[in-house]
Amino acid sequence: MIRDTIKVFVIFTMCTVIFYVGLQIMHREYEEIHRYDPPEGPAVKVFHSQTKLLERFQLFFKAGE
């Protein structure tokens, strides 16, 4: 009985360690990707909007959001 319990504990610990190492490898892989490249070409730059604040509120309420 105790031998089976130890065996299950060891298997569980090994699987947990393998899972954790796999998560660390995936994290390192995705950490190197630069997600926020500046827009290129005809991309619309949202944060440099030319509309006034009052116009934006009117559009917001007109759209019903």
* Residue-range domain boundaries for the chain: 1-29
Alpha helices in 1-65 (DSSP H): 2-31, 53-63
What's the pLDDT score for residue 22? 97
pTM of the model: 0.49
Assess whether pLDDT exceeds 80 at residue 50.
no
Name every residue whose Cβ is closer than 8 Å to that of residue 39 and which is 6 or more positions away in sequence.
45
Whether 48 has a pLDDT exceeding 60, the answer reads: no
Give the separation between CA 14 and CA 34, rounded to whole angstroms: 33
| CA–CA dist 45, 34 (Å, integer) | 19
pLDDT at 63: 80
pLDDT per position as a tens digit, 4-42: 999 999 999 999 999 999 999 999 988 877 777 776 777
